[in-house]
Amino acid sequence: MNHPHDTRFLNIMKLLMAFFVMVVHFSPFKTIHPILHHVSIHGFPRIVVPFFFLCSGYLLSSHGVISPDRLRKTLKKLVSLYLFWTLLHLPLIILELTHFPNAEPLWISLPRSFFFEGSFLHLWYLLASIIGLVIVTSLLKVFSITQVLFLSLILYIIGVLGDSYYGFSIGLRGLSDLMTLLFQFIRTTRNGLFFAPIYLSLGMFIKKNPKVFSMWTLSLIFIIILGLNTAEVLWLKGMVWAKDYNLTFTSLPLSLITFLISLQIKVNFDTTRFKEIAATLFYIHIWVYVLVQFVLTGGDTTYFKNYGMDGFLITVVLTTVITLFIHKFKHIPFIRNYFM
């Protein structure tokens, strides 16, 4: 049976999401309007990583499972990327440690960061993908995909309570005890345990149970959920509950509906290059911003500063130019393996 979904548009969406990553990291609207700034970095653009996880679960699986060979090759690739880009960002990691010294001993904080939370600002996504894939595929050896979805949802809810609803959680006796215990071992629920499994398993579930929906219906649902998501992040801001906004209740359905819409948009040309450009943009954008800051400040690289829309646009243009230059050498195996 022919699969009803065309995955080529997903690559175009990945490129769009790569630019949203830069919106979240570089806050272009910070100097323009506080509400616009808050929504732009905590609202819709936060579906970036969930969207990537959904794509991974969907594209890696077949009939609701990931084959052992496919899993082994994927994990090997992710580990290789994580190690390579950690090494490339090592100077920035050292700068961050010296500029913001941690109260904890390094022998505790560094292993936890490297093996569980992510070695640097954006590289946590690679580590979370590794951990999430191991968890989901291990659970699938015992449970059905529907049961794994349910278990993953429980983990996600705990993650939400420890992230955007943290202030609410510590005000309730039972939840407060759970959060206190949890944060003795971790600093964030934005990781491969609480964040990644629900999206990876959702992607696999959609692959196993493909449905075609009315685009009008999907669009209407998208508008409603987008409105609810905007309202939620603004309400959370007013409540002052959030440790961060990586996990919210509305970002889950918003990510899902965006993914379903993307699956149903058909294009009739090869979109592989979009995916490759997106990957390079993602990997190099932090280093480019450091370069921009170095120039704008006359040599200051102590920590990331915000330059509003000007700094954002300079970084986006420069990152794109450097990315396109790197892609002129895509025939070199090293470039293809680590930059795309």
Q: What is the pLDDT along the chain (340 residues), one digit of tens a residue?
A: 446 677 999 999 999 999 999 999 999 999 899 999 999 999 999 999 999 999 999 999 998 899 999 999 999 999 999 999 999 999 888 887 777 767 677 778 888 999 999 999 899 999 999 999 999 999 999 999 999 999 999 999 999 999 999 999 999 988 999 999 999 889 999 999 999 999 999 999 999 998 888 999 999 999 999 999 999 999 999 999 999 999 999 999 999 999 999 999 999 999 999 999 999 999 999 999 988 888 877 777 666 666 778 889 999 999 999 999 999 999 999 999 999 9
Neighbouring CB atoms inside 10 A of 64's CB total 18
Q: Which residues of 145-176 are buried (b: 16+ CB within 10 A; e: fewer)?
A: beebbebbeebbbbbbbbbbbbebbbeeeebe
Residue 65, beta-bridge partner list: 62
**Residue holding tokens 């529907």?**
146
Contact 64, 207 (CB under 8 A): yes
Contact 163, 171 (CB under 8 A): no
Distance between CA atoms of 64 and 58, rounded to whole angstroms?
9
pTM for this model (two decimals):
0.94
**Residue holding tokens 């509400």?**
35
* pLDDT value at residue 2: 46
* pLDDT value at residue 110: 86
* pLDDT value at residue 1: 41
Burial of 6 (0-12, 13-18, 19+ CB in 10 A): middle
Distance between CA atoms of 257 and 253, rounded to whole angstroms?
6
Distance between CA atoms of 285 and 277, rounded to whole angstroms?
12
* pLDDT value at residue 298: 74
Distance between CA atoms of 90 and 69, rounded to whole angstroms?
32
Q: Write the CA distances from 295 to 14, 122, 260, 298, 311, integer angstroms.
A: 30, 22, 42, 5, 11
Among residues 148, 248, 134, which one has the least CA distance to residue 198?
148
SS3 assignment for the chain: CCCCCCCHHHHHHHHHHHHHHHHHHHCCCCCCCHHHHHHHHHCHHHHHHHHHHHHHHHHHCECCECCHHHHHHHHHHHHHHHHHHHHHCHHHHHHHHHHCCCCCCHHHHHHHHHHHHCCCCCCHHHHHHHHHHHHHHHHCCCCCHHHHHHHHHHHHHHHHHCCCCHHHHCCCHHHHHHHHHHCCCCCCCCCCCCCHHHHHHHHHHHHHCCCCCCHHHHHHHHHHHHHHHHHHHHHHHHHCCCCCCCCCCCHHHHHHHHHHHHHHCCCCCCCHHHHHHHHHHHHHHHHHHHHHHHHHHCCCCCCCCCCHHHHHHHHHHHHHHHHHHHHHHCCCHHHHHHHC
* 202, two tokens: 């959702």
**Alpha carbon 251 to chain centroid, angstroms:** 12
